Structures are given as structure tokens and as C-alpha cells.
Structure 1
Amino acid sequence: MPAVIHVDLTAVHPVIDGFWHRTRLTAIPNPGQPLAMLCGLQGVAAFESVANRAAHGVPHQCPNCERIYRQERGMAPSPIRRSRS
């Protein structure tokens, strides 16, 4: 009997160098699969337990991904976020 696990792909935020990013996923990526973040950064999919999330410090939101995400949805810019140069 299947044990169905529902995953909200809009809630998947890959972490690269201490920043969590937004990406456009249509399916759960395979380990090693290339991923493109909204900000243009590239990475490959890797999976770890959420218990390890803060092992290297708490990740922060990528301000460029957030700006693009909000722009695409017609949302006002975040008043507390500034883009990295």
C-alpha cells in the first residue's frame, strides 16, 4: 500500500553559502540535478535532514530571489530587504 507524501514545491528553498533561495520546480529534483535560482545562481540538488539546517549557521533569505519573486507576483518590494551588490 502506498504511503503518499505530499510536498509543496513552492516551499522548497535550496540553501547555497548560507542563503536560502527561490527556484521554479515542477517536480522534486533528483540528487545532483542542476538547479537555477531566481537570482541566477546555479547549484545541484542535495538533500539533508531539516535537523541539520542550522549546522553551519542559520541560513538567510537571498534578497535578489525575494525581489524577483515579489516582482513576478505584483507585490510591493519588501521594506526591510536590500539587494546584495
Structure 2
Amino acid sequence: MSAVIHIDPEAIHPVIDGLWHRTRSGGIPEPGEPLLMLCGTQGVAVFDVLAKRRERGVPHQCPRCEAIYRRQHGIAPSPVRRS
């Protein structure tokens, strides 16, 4: 008997080098599948439990993925952050 686990593809945000990205392809990737992010960064799909997400620090959103996503969806650009 199958035990179906439902995953929202819009909630999949791969983390590479401390930045979470948005993928160019929709759907749920298979483990080991190559992924291309909106910003052009590439990686391979690996799955882990959410509790381990912050082991290497809190991931931040890739600013390039964010800008591209906002432009594609007609959302105003993020305000410029000043230090």
C-alpha cells in the first residue's frame, strides 16, 4: 500500500552555499536530478529533513533569484537595504 506524501512544488527552495534559490523548472525533482536556479546557479537535488536546514547557519534568499521572480510575477522590486 502506498503512503502518499504531498509536497508543494512552490515551496521547494534548494539551499546552495547558505542561499536559498528558486528553480527554473516546476515540479518535484528526483534525488540526483540536476537543477538550474533562476539566477543561473546549478546544483543536484538532495533531500534532507527540515530540522537540519539551519545546521550551517540561517539560509538567506538569493537576491538574483528574488529579483527575477519579482519581475516575472509583476511584483515591485525589493527596497534597497542599507547597512
Same fold (TM over 0.5): yes
Structure 1, unpaired ranges of 5+: none
**Alignment partner, residue 15 of structure 1:** 15
TM value normalised by structure 2 = 0.88
Compared with structure 1, are the counterparts of its residues 4 and 81 closer, same or farther at alpha carbon in structure 2 (3 Å cutoff)?
farther
1:24 positional shift: 3.1
- The alpha carbon displacement at 1:47 in A equals 0.7
Report the Cα distance in structure 1 between the residues aligned to 2:80 and 2:20, rounded to whole angstroms. Answer: 17
Instruction: Quickly say closer, same or farther: Cα 1:75–1:81, change in 2 above 3 A.
Output: farther
SS of structure 1 residue aligned to 2:35: strand
**Hey, what does 2:71 align to over in structure 1?**
71
Q: Which runs of 5+ in 2 are unaligned?
A: none
**Alpha-carbon spacing, 1:72–1:81, altered in 2? closer, same or farther (3 Å):** farther
Secondary structure of 2:22's partner?
Answer: coil
CA shift for structure 1 position 6: 1.8
**1:24 corresponds to which letter in structure 2?**
R
Counterpart residue identity of residue 60, structure 2: H
Using structure 1 for the length normalisation, give the TM-score: 0.86
User: Is it true that 1:40 corresponds to 2:40 in the alignment?
Assistant: yes
Give the whole-Å Cα distance in 1 for the aligned partners of 2:33 and 2:77.
31
| 1:62 match | 62
Tell whether the 8 Å contact from 2:25 to 2:36 is kept in structure 1 after alignment. Answer: no
Identity %: 66
Superposition CA RMSD, Å: 1.7
> What secondary structure sits across from 1:23 in the alignment?
coil
Equivalent residue for 1:5?
A: 5
